[in-house]
Amino acid sequence: MKVAATALVVLASASQAFAHYRFNQLIANGQTYPDGKYIRKWTPYYWNGPIEDVSLPDIRCNANPQTADGTVDVAAGSTVGFRVDQDVIHPGPYTAYLAKAPTDINNWDGNGDWFKIWEQGPTAISSSGISWDMANREWTFKIPASTPSGQYLLRFEHIGLHGASNTNGAQFYMSCAQINVTGGGNGRPGPTIKFPGGYKATDPGVKINIYWPVPTQYIIPGPAVWRG
């Protein structure tokens, strides 16, 4: 019986690990880059678990991220995105942020002003439940054409809400890529937030029971999208 119980624990742990995922490939310049290219690798990089405490610096670019192996040029107004390494099986929204590095991006940890450039919430809400985009393997969006030129961290995030009825129950999966925006404009991005600080554990989009009673709306955490 002890052997059987131990086997069940191992299987449960393996199943839980398999349920997680990494946004491990950057999409830019009409191509999908190899695993980890231009992305700040967290520690350990192949760990695919979530961040659950929004008050920690880990909420910024994942656990103890390291400088990326380069910075890719991306034209303002062009399409960028991220690809996931396996199916997303948790319900929840997606967001994308930019933060401009005040100096060399390789010497900056992202402790600055972040503005949201894209978000995707529920695909449908009815009395029978909330539907989410869980079929795609990649998500793309545009860098606003009026984004000022310069070096930025591009942060992509998915929030798993299956356990979000409990404090620190929401699961945050995120990646940050190093990009250099070229041909930019004179836009004034905002509103901005900090990571950590921009999300609270009690925000209605962070602590929520999405199953019962079925919410009539879902409020994506963070600021409004800046479209340039």
> Which CATH number do you get for residue 47?
2.70.50.70
The tally of CA atoms less than 13 A away on the side-chain side of residue 144 is 20
Angstrom CA distances, 46 to 43, 64, 82, stand at 8, 13, 16
How many angstroms separate the CA atoms of 95 and 220, rounded? 9
Angstrom CA distances, 42 to 52, 134, 192, 223, stand at 15, 24, 24, 25
In a domain, 56, yes or no: yes
Q: Is the pLDDT of residue 110 over 60?
A: yes
Give 44-99 pLDDT, tens digit per residue.
Answer: 999 999 999 999 999 999 999 999 999 999 999 999 999 999 999 999 999 999 99
Q: Tell me which residue range forms the domain holding 113.
A: 21-193
Q: State both tokens at 21.
A: 């995922």
> At residue 179, what are phi and psi to the nearest 5 degrees?
-130, 155
Angle CA 6–10–14, to nearest 5: 170
Q: State both tokens at 118.
A: 């894209």
Give 17-59 pLDDT, tens digit per residue.
Answer: 446 999 999 999 999 999 999 999 999 999 999 999 999 999 9
In a domain, 48, yes or no: yes
pLDDT for 1 equals 37
In a domain, 108, yes or no: yes
Q: State both tokens at 185.
A: 């404009």
In a domain, 159, yes or no: yes
Q: What value does the mean pLDDT of the chain take?
A: 92
Give 136-171 pLDDT, tens digit per residue.
Answer: 999 999 999 999 999 999 999 999 999 999 999 999
In a domain, 177, yes or no: yes
How many angstroms separate the CA atoms of 224 and 122, rounded? 16
pLDDT for 19 equals 64
Whole-prediction pTM value?
0.92
Region 215-220 average pLDDT: 97
How many angstroms separate the CA atoms of 161 and 208, rounded? 8
pLDDT for 7 equals 33
Q: Is the pLDDT of residue 12 over 70?
A: no
Region 191-206 average pLDDT: 98
* Domain count for the chain: 1
How many angstroms separate the CA atoms of 101 and 195, rounded? 14
